[in-house]
Amino acid sequence: MGQPQQQSDGTEAGKPPLRVGMVGYAFMGAAHSQGWRTAGRVFDLPLNPVQTAICGRDAAAVRAAADRHGWASTETDWRALVERDDVDLVDICTPGDSHAEIALAALAAGKHVLCEKPLANTVEEATTMVRAAEEAHRRGQVSMVGFNYRRVPATALARRMVAEGRLGRLRHVRVTYLQDWLVDPEFPLTWRLRKEQAGSGSLGDLGAHIIDLAQYLVGERLAGVSALTETFVRQRPLPTGATSGLSVVSAAGTGEVTVDDAALFTARFPSGALASFEATRYATGRKNALRIELNGERGSLAFDLERLNELSFHDGTAPGAEAGFRRILVTEPDHPYLDAWWPPGHGLGYEHTFVHQARDLVHAIAEGRRPEPSFADGLQVQCVLAAVEESAEKNSVYTPIAV
Ligand code: SOE
């Protein structure tokens, strides 16, 4: 691992600071905290990320989160956080219904913004956020959406191989994101199951990831979709206690699930590749199975997030006797992000995607570049989500994606 010079407070000597204020401290807040805490310790960054403040409504809980995740101070009102003079970047890790309001305020206050996915709950909100981000960009501020699976070394390698033409013209893109934490009908009605808070269900939560990842790997945007969605369990116990990540909490009475439980859709890329997508939290036994396979005229690639240090590659130009998928162990210094980590062969995990996300954002800020995925990319994904919902409502009628 690289060994940047550390001071006793963990900051690095001789580099301008990037003072981060985070809103939200649950699952994503913890994951982003790992990113901010570790990025400058592993990578030689042009700016030094400082975990300045973390914000949440419950004073005791946010204090505990600050201590656990390494934040120097706390706020209980996000408006106070975005107005702080000692915060340069606002990192939004809240449910989707507050993304737009916080991002707009942070951009107006002159901050850079990182926003968890999906960018917003509606196309309208996302459009407003893109407008504000464009204006802010002219003032030197940057904004990015947290599609962290672009930062898995194996997916970044897949992107490189597709761009180099190793697969030739693509014919098929097959993507699934399978989890199973809703199989139990007694799992309570948390915010992720309420449309007014989450925007949509598996579609926005998991579907947004695979739409972004597929488009990133292919290097094109989807043209239109035909979709099916379903809500399998329509009533669930109401939660009474605090929720933690995805875990089950106690319940009293029942309430209506107002989002999709699963979404399936087919789509076309402009260059002709056919794509299929499946996002569900009901795939019994599948915990975090984001799988993507690309088939091209010259070869194929396959990735599975549950084996994230591996990429399978079939080179269709190899002699027939040697044909077949082979496993590339994506743990070598020549692979994306990996020269800064462990000796060859030592793998990474889920949390490292957030470290890489922080690294890439810090570079973009220091270099005055637009980071990717931008808010505009987030809006386009939002438009795909909207087209999926529209198509599903019309019994799978092919729905072009209007951005
Ligand atoms: C829950 O389904 C979830 O935590 C998503 O919200 C995340 O974006 C994904 O990375 C893991 O699963």
DSSP track, 35-89: HHHHHHHHS--SSEEEEEEEE-S-HHHHHHHHHHHT-SEEES-HHHHHH-TT-SE
Is there an atom of ligand 1 within 6 Å of 205 CB? yes
The rounded distance, in Å, linking the Cα atoms of 260 and 242 is: 23
**CA distances to 167, 238, 250, 319 from 242, in Å:** 48, 11, 9, 59
Backbone angles phi, psi at 37, to 5 degrees: -70, -35
Query: Can you give the pLDDT at residue 251?
Result: 60
Given the structure tokens 């599975």, which residue do they identify?
Answer: 304
Closest CA to 246 of 176, 211, 198, 212: 198
Tell me the three state secondary structure of residue 119. coil
**Quick check: 44 and 13 in contact, CB under 8 A?**
no
**Cα end-to-end distance, the chain, whole Å:** 42
What pLDDT score was predicted for residue 248? 53
Determine the pLDDT at residue 402: 86
Q: Are strands 274-280 and 170-178 parallel, antiparallel or unpaired?
A: parallel
The reply to whether ligand 1 has any atom less than 6 angstroms from the CB of 179 is yes
Report the pLDDT value the prediction gives residue 245, as an integer from 0 to 100.
58
Distance (Å, whole) CA 209 – CA 23:
21
Which residues, other chains included, contact 254 with Cβ-Cβ below 8 Å and sequence gap of 6+? 189, 235, 236, 237, 238
* Residue of 32, 149, 190, 206 with the most ligand 1 atoms within 8 Å of its CB, for mutation: 206
Interaxial angle between packed helices 375-393 and 208-218, expressed in degrees from 0 to 180 and rounded to the nearest 10: 120
Measured from the CA of 209, which atom of ligand 1 is nearest?
8
Write down the pLDDT at residue 219: 98
Q: What is the pLDDT of residue 240?
A: 78
Ligand 1: residue whose CA is nearest its atom 11: 288
Spell out a b/e string for 351-375, using b for 16 or more CB atoms within 10 Å of the CB, else e: ebbbbbbbbbbbebbeeeebbebbb
Radius of gyration of the chain (CA): 21
Q: Mean pLDDT in runs of 10 for the chain (403 residues)?
A: 48 84 97 98 98 98 98 98 98 98 98 98 98 97 98 98 98 98 96 97 98 98 97 94 59 90 97 97 98 98 98 97 96 98 97 98 96 98 98 97 89
Three-state DSSP class for 233? coil
Cα angle: 253, vertex 259, 262; to 5 degrees: 115
Angle at 202 between CA 199 and CA 207, to 5 degrees: 95
Q: Is 88 in the pocket of ligand 1 (CB under 6 A)?
A: no
Of 212, 213, 183, 168, nearest in space to 304 by CA: 213
